A and B are shown apart, each in its own frame.
Chain A
Amino acid sequence: MAAARKRKRSEMVRGSNFPHDVEITCTRPRSLVKKSMPSIGKSWDRCGEGFQDSSQIEDDGPLGKKLQVVRSLTSALQSNEADICRGQESEEKDNIVWSSSDSELSDPEMLLGNSKERLMPKTQRTINSYHKYLHMINSLTDSQMSEDESPTIDWDSFSDNEEISDITQGAVDSYLTDSDSSTSSKLENRKSATHQPTKSLAAYDISEFSSDSESSKESKLHEKRISSTLQGQLNVFSCESDRDQTAVRSASDWLKTAQAFLQTPEKQERKQFKTPDDSAKKKRKFLRGGLAERLNRLQCRERSAIHFWRHQTTTDWRIPAAGKVGVLVLKILDLHEECSMLVTLCQPLIETSIDQTGEDEGTSTQAPLKVLFTRETASHLRIVSGDLVHVHSPWQKLVIQDQEGPVILCTYFSQKILSNKDPGTKDNYCCPGQTEMVRKAPISLAMRFNLTASKLKHDFDCDQDKARSAENPSATQQESLKKERGITHWSADNLVWDSLLEVIESQGTAGWTKQNVKVVIQRVYCLPVKDILHNQLTRKDQSDISLPSNVGQQNARLCLLVQDVYGLFSEVQLRTYSLLEEDLQQQSACWEGKRCYLKGMKIIQRTTRGRSSGLFSLIDSLWPPLIPPKVHGQSQGSQESVGSPSGALLPAPSFCYVLAARPGERGIELLQEENGSDLYRPTAWHNLEHILQYIPESHRCSFSAEVIYRRLQAQTANQQISGENWVFVTDSTLQSSTHDPLVPRSLPVCVTSFCVLCAEVTKELNDGSSHTLLFKDAIVEKDNIVCAEGTVLSLYNSVLDSSREQEFSQVTGPVTLDELSIATKMCSLCTVQGTVVGVDETTAFSWIVCNRCGSEKLEKKTGERKSLYCRQCVQPVTTPLTKMQLEVFLQYPALPQSTIKVKGYEIECVLGKETGPLNCYVRSVTKQPSCWIGLEEISLQQASNQPLQ
C-alpha cells in the first residue's frame, strides 16, 4: 500500500520530467561540463535568489537568509524525498532530480538527522504544497499536450530548486523561518564557499542534465554539480564570466538554454483557470515525432527562455553586451511594420568586434542590415527609429538571393540600450511616449501577385537607398536622425492612394512624404492666420475669443476642403495668402471641383465635430456625396448591392484631418483633367426668400444679396472694424411685392472674424454705397445669417458671373423695409412713421461740422476771432453746420400702447408734427412690463448708380 503510493508519487514526479528531448538542447560538448562545473553553484545561487536582486550580492546579510531559505527548503525536500525514494533510488534517481541535491551537503545523512527532527512538520507542508504544484503542472501540461510528449517544465537539473524557491518562496519563507537557526552551520559552510576565489564560468551546460536516461553518467554529473553548488558565487552574469567563456557561449545563450527547462509559474497558474472546454480544445495532438511536435517543443523552450532572459535583463540592466560574440549592436535607421513584423533597417555599429565574429560573418559587413522583430518584441522594447539595440544570440541570419545584406531573424533576445547610461532607468521603460509605430498599409493583392510594376520600382528604390547608405553610413544615420521618426519609407512610394484614412493610418500621425493621395477639392476659402493658431487650441469656443480684425488683416491662409472617394474630408491649409494682392475668386475658380494629389503632407490636427463645429457645418453642407462613396473593406460589387444610391443612410463624417504641406513640398498637384470630379458638389445658390423659408438653422447657404446697411459694433479710431461686423442685406425676392409677408424684407448678416474678407470686399463695404455681394457657404441662424469659417464673400462680378445672371437678379428701385410692427425684432431694420409726442431733452446735444466735407474735426484758430479750421479740407470754415441729436418719442398708430423712442440725427420735425417714414435700426425691443422700442435713424447705403432719394 505504502509502496504503491510511493510509486505513484514518484511517477507523478517522473511525469513532470522531460524524458527524451535531449536531441534539441543538449548539443554542447561534454568536455564543457567539467570546465564549467565550479560556476554551476554560483548560477544556482543566483537562481535561488529568485532574481530578486540584480546587484552583485555579497555572501552575507539578507542574502544569507535567503540562501538559507532556499537551502533549507531543498534540504527539507530531500528529507521527504529520501523517504519516498529510498529503495527505488537506482530506478528513479534520474527522475527525481532534486533529490540528488541532498548531496549538497557533504553529509546528507547528518543533515537529515538535523533537520528531520525540528523541521519535519513544517517542511512536510512545504513538500505537500510543492507536490500540489507539481500535480497541477502535470495536469495542465497533460491536458495541453500529448501524453507522450513532455511538457515544457523540466524538473531536472537545478531548475526545480529554482522553481521551488520562486513559487513557494512566500509560503516557504514562513515555514522555514525557524530553520535559519538550525542551518546556521550550513551558512558557515556557505560563507567559506563564497569566499573562495571564483572562476566564474557560466553554468550553461546545465542542460546536460536534462533527463537523459544515462543515469550513471548523470548521477556523476549531479555529484559534480552539487559539489560545485557549495562554491556558489552569485554573480554568474557578470561581464567577466561572460568574457571568460566567450569562446564557447554567451551568457544569454546560457540563459536561454537554462530557461528552456523553466516555465514561468504564473503562466501555468493562469492556464489552470481555463474552462475544461478550453483545454479540451487545446488538447491538440501533434503527430508524434512530427515537425509540429518538434517545433512546439522548441517554441515552448524559446518562449520560456525569452521570459527568463527578459527577466534577467530587466533586473540586471548592466549586462554587458557590446563586444561580445554573437551580440549585434545595431542602430535602427528606419522601420516599418509589415503584417505583424517590424521590419527595420539597421546600421551595425563598429563596436561589434569584427575579428571575433568567426561564426557571424554577417556582422562584419558594415552595410545596413535588415533586422526583423516580432511585434511582441518591438512593443516590449518600444523600438523607434534611432534606437540602439543589442541583439543577443541566438539570432539567425538569412541570406537572400539577389539582395545584398542578410536578414536577421529570431531577434527575441534584444535589448534596447539607452544612450545616456542612466543607472536608474531600465532600458525597457525609457521613452514612454514613443510607442508610435508606423504600420505599413496592407500590400495590395495586385502587388503581391506581381500584377503591378511597382515591385520592380521598389526594389530599385531600395537598392538606390542601400547604395547610398553603404557609401556613407554616417550620413545616412544623420539623415535618419533628422527624419521625423520613421516617416520615410521605401514602401509604397509614389503610389497613388485613394484613401486618406489608409495613408494616415499607415504612415502614422506625422504625415506622409511620398505618397500621392487623390482627392477632390470641394471648397476653397481663407482662414485668418491668427485663428489657425488659435483654432487648434480652442476651436470649439468661438465666443470668448478676442477676435482679430478680419478686415485689417494683410494675411490669411488659403485652405482647401478636400474629400477622398471614401468620403473622408480634410482641410488642407495650403499657404499664406495675401488678401491685398490675391483674388480668392480666381483661386477658387482654378481649384474648386478639381481632382488633385496631396503629397508631402503633415497632419496638424485630427478634429471632431465637437471641436470644430464650423468646419463640420461646412462638411455637412457637402454631405452626402453626390455619388455613393466607397466603403473601406468592401468591394465595389458588394457596395452596389448594399449601398443606397441616395446616400441618405450614410452617417456623416465624425472626424476630419487638418493637413498642411510639409516644408519644401508643394503639397498639391492638380490633375489635368477636362472634366471635374463626380464627387464634387458645386455650390447651390439660392435666393434669400428660399433660404429663409426652407433652409433649416445651422445649415450652410449661398446667395447673392445687396448690402443696404452696415453696422459697426465697435469702431476704432482708424475706421477699422474689430470683432463682428454686421451688414444688412436684401435681394430681389425679398423686395418683390409678391413675397411672403412673414419673410422679412431685409436680413442681418454677421461677418465673424473667422470669415476672412479680401481687400476688394472690404473696400466696397467701407465706401458707403450699396453693392451686390456673393455669400458662399454662410450659415443660417435664427433671424440672421452668419459668415464663419469657410464662408467666402466676394463681389458680384457681372462679367464673371454672366452665366448666373438669372439667378442673381439685382434689386431695382428703392429698397423698402418692413414697417415697424409688434413682430419687429431687435437688431433689424424697419421703417417708422409717426407723430412726435415728446423729446428726451436729457440726451439731446448738438455739434458743428464742416459745411464742405461734413467732418467733425474742426479746430478753433487761435488768434483770429471765431474762425474755424477744418483739418480734413485744410481750409478755414466760415459757415459751419450745426448738427444735433435728438431722441424723440413717437406715437405710432400701429402700436398705440408702445413707447417708441427714435434716436435721430437729422430729425427736422418737432413736437406734434408727423415724421417719416424713417429708416431705422431697431436698437432695443422690450415687451415687459410695457412695450418699449428703441430705434435709431439710419441712412441706407445707396447703390452708386441709383439717384439719391
Chain B
Amino acid sequence: MSAGTLSVIAEELLKEVKKVYQESSQLTDELLLALKFIFGSTALHALDLVDQCSVTLISSPSGRTVYQVLGSSRQTYICLSFCHYCSCPAFMYSVIRRNDNILCKHILAAYLCQAMGLCHDQKVSDKQLTSLLLAKHNGVSSAV
C-alpha cells in the first residue's frame, strides 16, 4: 500500500473507464458509483464537465499539451497534462493544502475526457501555448 494507494486506484479506474467506454460508448452504473466512491462529489462535477464537453486539449507543434477546462463558473482553468496540476483554487485548497482530495474536478474531467476520447482538440502555436501557460486566469480565457 504505497503512499499513493488512491492514485493507483484512480489510475486503474480511469483505465476501466476507457475500456468500458470503448466497448459500449457508455459507462456502467458500477463504474459511476466507483468513481463517486473514490473521488466523492468531485466525480459528479467532473462528469458534468464531461457532459458539457468542457475539456479542450490544446497542443502546440512543440509537442507540448495542456488541458483547458471550462469550469462551471465559465472560468477556464489550465490542467497540466504532464503532471498533476490545475490552476483552480479548489486544487490549491482541497488537494494541496487540505489534502482532502487527490484531484480537483477539472483534472478528473480532463482525465475522463481523455479516457473517453471526448476532448476537443485545438492546435495552437508554441507562442500561444507559452502565453497560455504564463497567463493569469483572465488572460487565459481571452487568449484562446
A interface residues (Cβ-Cβ under 8 A, vs B): 24, 284, 286-287, 290-296, 298-299, 302, 334, 336, 338-341, 343, 345, 370, 372, 374, 394, 396, 398-401, 403, 407, 409-410, 440, 442-443, 445, 447-449, 454-455, 458-459, 462, 490-492, 633
Tell me which of A290, A298, A345, A401 contacts B48 (CB under 8 A). A290
Please state if A400 and B33 are interface contacts (CB–CB under 8 Å): no
B142 within 8 A of A: no
The 3 closest A-B pairs by CB, nearest first: A290-B51, A292-B48, A458-B2
B82 CB → nearest A CB, Å:
9
Contacts of A443 in B (CB 8 A): 3-4, 99
A339 vs B102: C-alpha distance in the bound complex, in angstroms? 6
A333 CB → nearest B CB, Å:
11
Given known A-B contacts A396-B34, A462-B1, A448 and B84 have beta carbons under 8 A apart: yes
Please state if A454 and B3 are interface contacts (CB–CB under 8 Å): yes
What is the interface residue range for chain B against chain A? 35 or more
A293 vs B16: C-alpha distance in the bound complex, in angstroms? 20
B57 CB → nearest A CB, Å:
19
Please state if A345 and B1 are interface contacts (CB–CB under 8 Å): yes
* 21 residue pairs bridging A and B, Cβ less than 8 Å apart: A284-B48, A284-B72, A287-B51, A291-B47, A291-B51, A292-B50, A294-B29, A296-B44, A298-B33, A343-B6, A370-B1, A372-B38, A374-B40, A396-B34, A396-B37, A398-B12, A409-B9, A445-B84, A449-B83, A455-B2, A455-B3
Please state if B9 and A398 are interface contacts (CB–CB under 8 Å): yes
Please state if A294 and B1 are interface contacts (CB–CB under 8 Å): no
B interface residues (Cβ-Cβ under 8 A, vs A): 1-9, 12-13, 15-16, 27, 29-30, 32-38, 40, 43-45, 47-48, 50-52, 72, 83-84, 96-97, 99-102
Other CB < 8 Å A-B pairs besides A291-B32, A291-B48, A336-B1, 18 of them?
A290-B48, A293-B51, A295-B33, A299-B36, A334-B1, A340-B101, A343-B1, A343-B6, A372-B9, A398-B16, A401-B12, A409-B9, A409-B38, A410-B37, A445-B84, A448-B7, A459-B2, A462-B2
Tell me which of B1, B36, B52 contacts A295 (CB under 8 A). B36
Contacts of A447 in B (CB 8 A): 3-4
* Nearest B-chain residue to A459, judged by Cβ: B2
Contacts of A286 in B (CB 8 A): 48, 51
Pick from A286, A293, A339, A370 the residue with the most CB of B within 10 Å: A339
> Total contacts A to B, CB within 8 angstroms?
129
A429 vs B96: C-alpha distance in the bound complex, in angstroms? 34
Please state if A341 and B6 are interface contacts (CB–CB under 8 Å): yes
A499 CB → nearest B CB, Å:
14
Please state if A458 and B3 are interface contacts (CB–CB under 8 Å): yes
Which label, helix, strand, loop or mixed, suits the secondary structure of the A interface? mixed
Contacts of B51 in A (CB 8 A): 286-287, 290-293
Contacts of A294 in B (CB 8 A): 29, 32
Please state if B13 and A398 are interface contacts (CB–CB under 8 Å): yes
Pick from A291, A409, A410 the residue with the most CB of B within 10 Å: A291
A59 vs B44: C-alpha distance in the bound complex, in angstroms? 46
Given known A-B contacts A291-B51, A443-B3, A447-B3, A302 and B102 have beta carbons under 8 A apart: no
A394 vs B29: C-alpha distance in the bound complex, in angstroms? 12
A334 vs B1: C-alpha distance in the bound complex, in angstroms? 10
Contacts of B16 in A (CB 8 A): 398
Please state if A295 and B35 are interface contacts (CB–CB under 8 Å): yes
Given known A-B contacts A340-B101, A398-B9, A287 and B4 have beta carbons under 8 A apart: no
A401 vs B99: C-alpha distance in the bound complex, in angstroms? 26
* Nearest A-chain residue to B96, judged by Cβ: A445
A299 vs B32: C-alpha distance in the bound complex, in angstroms? 9
Please state if A407 and B9 are interface contacts (CB–CB under 8 Å): yes
A296 vs B51: C-alpha distance in the bound complex, in angstroms? 13
B18 CB → nearest A CB, Å:
13
A354 vs B39: C-alpha distance in the bound complex, in angstroms? 31
Please state if B50 and A291 are interface contacts (CB–CB under 8 Å): yes
B47 CB → nearest A CB, Å:
4
A583 CB → nearest B CB, Å:
44
A302 vs B100: C-alpha distance in the bound complex, in angstroms? 22
Please state if A440 and B45 are interface contacts (CB–CB under 8 Å): no
Please state if B1 and A341 are interface contacts (CB–CB under 8 Å): no
Given known A-B contacts A345-B1, A372-B9, A459-B2, A449 and B84 have beta carbons under 8 A apart: yes
* Nearest B-chain residue to A395, judged by Cβ: B37
A24 vs B97: C-alpha distance in the bound complex, in angstroms? 37
Please state if A491 and B100 are interface contacts (CB–CB under 8 Å): no
Contacts of B3 in A (CB 8 A): 440, 443, 447, 454-455, 458, 491-492
Please state if B44 and A292 are interface contacts (CB–CB under 8 Å): yes
Pick from B37, B38, B45, B48 the residue with the most CB of A within 10 Å: B37
Contacts of B102 in A (CB 8 A): 339
A370 vs B4: C-alpha distance in the bound complex, in angstroms? 13
A481 vs B111: C-alpha distance in the bound complex, in angstroms? 40
* Nearest A-chain residue to B52, judged by Cβ: A287
B14 CB → nearest A CB, Å:
11
A291 vs B51: C-alpha distance in the bound complex, in angstroms? 6
Contacts of B52 in A (CB 8 A): 287, 290
Please state if A287 and B34 are interface contacts (CB–CB under 8 Å): no
Given known A-B contacts A292-B48, A340-B101, A449-B84, A400 and B43 have beta carbons under 8 A apart: no
Please state if B44 and A400 are interface contacts (CB–CB under 8 Å): no
A372 vs B13: C-alpha distance in the bound complex, in angstroms? 14
Given known A-B contacts A291-B32, A409-B38, A400 and B84 have beta carbons under 8 A apart: no
Please state if A339 and B100 are interface contacts (CB–CB under 8 Å): yes
Contacts of A394 in B (CB 8 A): 30
A96 vs B17: C-alpha distance in the bound complex, in angstroms? 39
A367 CB → nearest B CB, Å:
13
Given known A-B contacts A291-B47, A294-B29, A449-B83, A370 and B5 have beta carbons under 8 A apart: yes
A339 vs B3: C-alpha distance in the bound complex, in angstroms? 11
* Nearest A-chain residue to B11, judged by Cβ: A400
* Nearest B-chain residue to A396, judged by Cβ: B34
Tell me which of A302, A345, A401, A448 contacts B4 (CB under 8 A). A448
B72 CB → nearest A CB, Å:
8
A267 vs B4: C-alpha distance in the bound complex, in angstroms? 35
Contacts of B8 in A (CB 8 A): 400, 403
Contacts of A290 in B (CB 8 A): 47-48, 50-52
Please state if B32 and A409 are interface contacts (CB–CB under 8 Å): no
A399 vs B9: C-alpha distance in the bound complex, in angstroms? 9
Contacts of B35 in A (CB 8 A): 295
* Nearest B-chain residue to A495, judged by Cβ: B3
Contacts of B72 in A (CB 8 A): 284
Contacts of B48 in A (CB 8 A): 284, 286-287, 290-292
Tell me which of B6, B29, B34, B97 contacts A338 (CB under 8 A). B6
Given known A-B contacts A396-B30, A401-B12, A409-B37, A292 and B47 have beta carbons under 8 A apart: yes
Contacts of A410 in B (CB 8 A): 33-34, 37
A541 vs B32: C-alpha distance in the bound complex, in angstroms? 60
A448 vs B86: C-alpha distance in the bound complex, in angstroms? 14
Given known A-B contacts A343-B1, A490-B1, A374 and B37 have beta carbons under 8 A apart: yes
Given known A-B contacts A398-B9, A401-B12, A339 and B99 have beta carbons under 8 A apart: yes
Pick from B47, B100, B101 the residue with the most CB of A within 10 Å: B47
Contacts of B29 in A (CB 8 A): 24, 294, 298
Please state if A633 and B32 are interface contacts (CB–CB under 8 Å): no
Please state if B32 and A298 are interface contacts (CB–CB under 8 Å): yes
